[in-house]
Structure 1
Amino acid sequence: MKKINQLYTGFALAMMLLMSSCVKDLDQQPYVQETSASVYAKAENYKRVMAKVYASLAVGGQEKGDGNADLSGRAANAYLRIYFNLQELPTDEAVYTWGGGDALNPLQFITWNTTDEWSAAMYYRILYTVGLCNEFLRNATDEKISKFTPAEVAEIQAQRNDVRFIRAVAWSHALDLFGIPPFVTETDPVGAFFPRQIKRPDLFSYVESELKEVAAALPSRTQAEAGRASKGAAFALLAKLYLNAEVYTGTGKYSECVAAANEVIAQGYTLEDTYSKLFNADNDKRTNEIIFAIQQDGMNTTSWGGTTYLVCGPIVGSMNATERGVQSGWSSIRTTPQFVSLFTDVTGTTDRRARFHTDGQSLDINDVTLQTDGYGLTKFTNKTDAGGNGSNYAEGLVDTDFPMLRLADVYLMYAEAVLRGGTGGTATEALGYVNQIRTRAYAGSNAGNISQGDLNLNFILAERGRELFWECTRRTDLIRFGRFTGNTYLWQWKGGVKAGTTVNPRYNVFPIPAADRAANPNLEQNKDY
């Protein structure tokens, strides 16, 4: 069993303790409902609550397959499924078959409005995770934990750093997706009040400060408990924050991005030899490259909205589900011809990252509702290294972790930051990092290596697509390069038109949900919504 599930299997208990004491029948002794004070009376419960904080990124509820959901409506889906939909469906990397019935056409056509169900679901998911983190931190001050033994105090202090990191992940997503969310920390009051709204540059500064502090406190990659955040994770997220600083604040921080990337690299990560092993049922073993993952386990940490979505959803047309380690597919997600064109050979014979299913599939998407329109992608699988299925083949729930941060991304961030004028790195090192990625992609051959003259920003954007597709980076990347809205870059069905059409710049951020604005008079709307 994956080590992280020693944490995750306690999350349901933690929430039962926090929310209520449950009975199955009336033939029970009288009970008193648990409160926050009683839960945090025991040092061991802190780790259980921390487990729920981690699990808030992985599952949508308290029971198997997201049962007993944390939230209602579309927000009942797991964090990752919603995040994937917002980061990938509006881009050239994905189209969705059931957009009408699943209310996803506004996302994939970039026509959403202030009442969009999925962007609101992400908004509430983010704030839910932030709320869990704040509650933990509110009860983990030095004063409140002083009653425990020195060893217990030290452990809870370490757990605080984990929780602050997860909160920084959530706030970084709010910064990127919504820009100006309501802002609450552990110092705000408990109970009903109207949270204040934070400006985008101020939220950037807050996340930056949090990550710098936890990066100094978190353990190294070799000292961190399996599945928990490490120093490398904080610096990798900080590098991503700096790479997008110009979008968020109007001021570039490319030298800072290089410095943060160097800190990650200094931790001793190395590229996995085989690209496909980063996305299979045994990818929890890839700690050499995967810096931080949303962990899944088909028996213990189960969701229809995590990587189960990324394994089953793309099984379309004649694709064989059993070859992907599951019993059936959902015929949901394919890709566009513009994304396919990033590869010169779609068979994967040269660049092994070209993982397309073409049998019976047309390249063009004439009808988004036809699962045979558009090539399929076979990146995520529930197969083990040995070729077996994941632990819960019978129920169709997968073991594959989602690599949220990994070394190849850090190498590409380093290279891009240097190209954009960042100091502290060299063009020679940038080229070396990129060619390490391409050598792996070409199965150890240097046939795909590029020269210094080939390394430019256009190449970086294309290489990020080839290396990181469906890892929830594409929307952010296209915005940073000025190609998400407007008409500089068109792909099929951008703007709801087959040939693609220009898109209003307001769609570079999602709106604050109309319902939340109606409930909170402190909230203003993003520009032009």
Structure 2
Amino acid sequence: MIKLFKYSIIFSLGLLVVACTDLEEDLVGDITEDFSEDGVNVDGPGGSDGPLTALYAELRNSGTANHGGYYSIQEITTDEMFIGAKGGDWFDGGDLIRLHQHTYTANHPFINGAWVATYNAIATANDNLGSGNLNESEVAQARAVRAYFYWRLLDSYGRVKLVTENDTDPPQASREDVFAFVESELLAALGISEVTADMDLSASPLADGGSAYTMNRYGALGLLAKLYLNAEVYTGMPMYDKAEIAASFVIDSGVYVLCDEGCSVPNLGRRPDVTTDPATLDGYAAVFAANNEGNPEHIFSVRYDEVNGPGMNFSQMNLHYSSQFTFNFQEQPWNGYATVEEFYNSYEDGDKRKEASFIVGPQLDFSGSALLDYAADDDDIQLNYTPEINELAPNSSREAGARPAKFSFKQFGRAEMDNDFPIVRLGELYLIRAEARARQADNWAVAEADVNVLRERAGVDPYNGQLTEDEFLAERGREMFQETARRTDLIRFGRYNDTWWEKPVSEPFKNIFPIPQEQINSGGGLTQNPGY
């Protein structure tokens, strides 16, 4: 078993107050040593001392799977999750309620935090690209990873500055120009001028497969598929044909397979005295497990490690304080994130994704005894996660809401988790191809074949003429829960401004977050998005 010991020195202490025009002043250095129990060193940018180590680490540093930045603004603005205010606990000045109810403003700290973290990642990419120390493949990787971070900005804020190694303080670009930049960078990394049915990637400097921790051809194509699927939102011009082609190329390559029958890992969260805990996690559950490294469905993933790759805190964010004794966590959880009841109820009973994604019901400790909550809101002191939720604020029940557990927990886990987070995985590409085909044909039945591949894995009946636009959106939600996809999906389907539990109708300008006021105030000519 390989162990990587990495020590990072971060000189940018003022992370959350950095203006986009000062990005080149942020220095991130990495001193990395590789060790192996069997004497074999690991090479490659996914976890070594290669020149792109710091850039790939930015996938963790930029808020992909922790509280207070990108993950938070993508998830708790949707009908998937909420954080209830339990008296003063988790009220946080109303910031979490404002995200849920779409009353956020340009002064919201999470919106500013996501902006700054993303631009810091871009600065690292620019440092790499301007160093002159990269070979052709590494240049292509750095450009594609930077394009991914610009896709986050494009999707979240629309009009941003395209800071590159050649221009550290450019004017604010239109959303269409940001789209064109992301597309051109990914195409350049692939060595092609456009995505076509007969495209030849043999000249691409990106690898033809390999580690999911390193950007390869299929990862870049997956990002293009996401980009093209949302092109009509970003530019007003639909590009579903290109989304279909990009997704199909990856699916049809045969390089990746869905994690289904025979794809399993040991259940690291298993309690020996609790007979309902399975010995292994199979299929869908294995895709997101604490030991999911090397999963055959992962195309481009963020590598997390409880010691050397911190940044995933779901066990702390989601679980009740007492759940520490279920998993023997080193630290007590925070009792924050929970699932909106209607979303949880959208799963059929027997859907394996439902079983894998949530913790509900009376809870037991490691030995199988009742897990107690001495400050319970009701007369039963056994901790019981209920899908039902009394209210968002001011006194949300401490045990309310099914708890997100798709990225499953392990015994004796630290506050930092080990689960890899897929940015591009094969299951989503089936959904992208399905939707792209349906939209081109104006017929959702066209999507059934690809969707049924995923439903078969989930153990639920296939669609046979019943698939509608609404049902597809619900099915996509069930497959992609907790993967920071829901906000983008709701916007594409025209549902982000709808009313749902404890959220009124919101105005269409909320589909794009405001440019953080702190960034506008720090100079550089940034102007606010309309409506704010």
Same fold (TM over 0.5): yes
Q: 2:391 aligns with which of 367, 371, 374?
A: 367
For 1:491 and 1:427, the matched residues in 2 are separated by: 27
Matched-pair contact (CA < 8 Å) for 2:444–2:468: no
The correspondence for 2:235, drawn from 240, 249, 262, is 249
Q: Does 1:396 align with 2:396?
A: no
Measure the CA separation in 1 of the matches of 2:219 and 2:66. Answer: 18
Q: Does 1:436 align with 2:453?
A: yes
Measured against aligned partners, the alpha-carbon deviations of 1:446-471 in whole angstroms (never above 9, x if no partner) come to x52111x2233222211111111010
Displacement, 1:218? Answer: 4.6
- Does residue 1:525 correspond to 2:517, yes or no? no
CA distance in 2 between partners of 1:2 and 1:92 (Å): 39
Alignment of 1:297 onto 2:324: no
* Contact 1:270/1:289, CA 8 A, preserved across alignment: yes
Residue 58 of structure 1: which of 49, 57, 60 is its match?
60
Deviation at 1:355, TM superposition (A): 3.0
Aligned residue in 2 for 1:477: 489
C-alpha distance in 2, partners of 1:528/1:54? 35
Match of 1:70 in 2: none
Residue of structure 2 equivalent to 1:64: none
Distance 1:250 1:329 in 2: 44
- Per the normalisation by structure 1, the TM-score is 0.76
Per-residue Cα deviation, 1:71-119 (whole angstroms, up to 9, x for no partner):
xxxxxx6775422101110111111145422732221221111111000
- Which of 337, 340, 348 is the matching residue for 1:333? 337
Contact 1:178/1:511, CA 8 A, preserved across alignment: yes
- The equivalent residue for 1:83 is 70
> In the alignment, what sits opposite 1:105?
97
Identity of aligned residues (%): 31
Whether 1:454 and 2:466 are equivalent positions in the alignment is yes
- Does the CA contact (< 8 Å) of 2:321 and 2:334 recur in 1? no
One-letter amino acid matched to 1:344: E
State the SS of the aligned residue for 2:432: helix
Alignment partners' CA distance in 2, 1:441 and 1:177:
31
**Partner SS for 1:183:** coil
Contact 2:130 2:165 (8 Å CA) reproduced: yes
Shift in CA distance, 58/521, structure 1 to aligned 2, threshold 3 Å: closer
Query: Which residue number in structure 2 is paired with residue 508 of structure 1?
Result: 511
| Number of the residue aligned with 1:25 | none
Q: Which amino acid aligns with 2:391?
A: D
What's the counterpart of residue 214 of structure 1? 189
After TM superposition, give the deviation of residue 329 of structure 1 in Å.
2.4
Aligned with 1:57: secondary structure?
A: helix
Deviation at 1:249, TM superposition (A): 0.4
Letter in 2 for 1:295: R
Task: Give the match's secondary structure for 2:147.
Answer: helix
Q: Give the 3-state SS of the residue equivalent to 1:293 in structure 2.
A: strand
Contact 2:321 2:333 in 1 (8 A): no
Q: Which moved more, 1:104-113 or 1:351-360?
A: 351-360
Cα deviation code 1:297-336 (max 9, x no counterpart): 1121123xx2xx2233221376565348766422111111
**Structure 2 CA distance, aligned partners of 1:505 and 1:324?**
45
| Per-residue deviation, residues 134-164 of structure 1 (Å, max 9, x unmatched) | 1211122xxxx5xxxxxxxxx6221112211
Equivalent position amino acid for 2:166 in 1 = T
Q: Do 1:317 and 1:372's aligned partners in 2 also have CA atoms closer than 8 Å?
A: no
2:140 matched to which residue of 1? 161
SS in 2 for 1:85: helix
**Structure-1 separation of matches of 2:467 and 2:423:** 25
Is 1:180 aligned with 2:165?
Answer: no
Task: Give the aligned partner of residue 233 of structure 1.
Answer: 219
Cα separation, 2, equivalents of 1:324 and 1:474: 31
Amino acid at match of 2:346: L
Amino acid at match of 1:400: N
Amino acid of the structure 2 residue aligned with 1:510: F
1:285 partner SS: coil
Q: 1:469 to 1:211 in 2, by over 3 A?
A: same
Matches within 5 A, 1:409-448: 409-421=428-440, 430-442=447-459, 447-448=460-461
1:270 aligns with 2:257: yes
2:501: which partner in 1? 492
After superposition, the Cα gap between the structure-2 partners of 1:157 and 1:322, relative to the gap in structure 1 and judged at 3 Å, is farther
CA deviation string 1:369-389 (max 9, x = no partner): 433222223212233xxxxx4
The answer to whether the Cα contact below 8 Å between 1:257 and 1:422 also exists between their aligned partners in 2 is no
Q: What's 1:199 paired with?
A: 174
| In structure 2, C-alpha distance between the alignment counterparts of 1:324 and 1:246, rounded to whole Å | 47
Please report how far the alpha carbon of residue 405 of structure 1 lies from its aligned counterpart in structure 2 after TM superposition.
1.3
Distance 1:398 1:363, change over 3 A: closer
Q: After TM superposition, give the deviation of residue 219 of structure 1 in Å.
A: 3.6
Q: Distance in 2 between matches of 1:522 and 1:2?
A: 48
Question: Could you tell me how far 1:518 is from its partner in structure 2?
Answer: 1.9
Q: CA deviation at 1:179?
A: 0.1
Partners of 1:426 and 1:118 in 2: CA distance? 36
Alpha-carbon separation, structure 1, partners of 2:97 and 2:353:
35
* Aligned position for 2:408: 381
Aligned CA distance change for structure 1 residues 278 and 413 (closer, same or farther; 3 Å):
same
Equivalence for 1:96:
83
Distance of aligned partners of 1:523 and 1:394 in 2 relative to their CA distance in 1, 3 Å threshold: closer
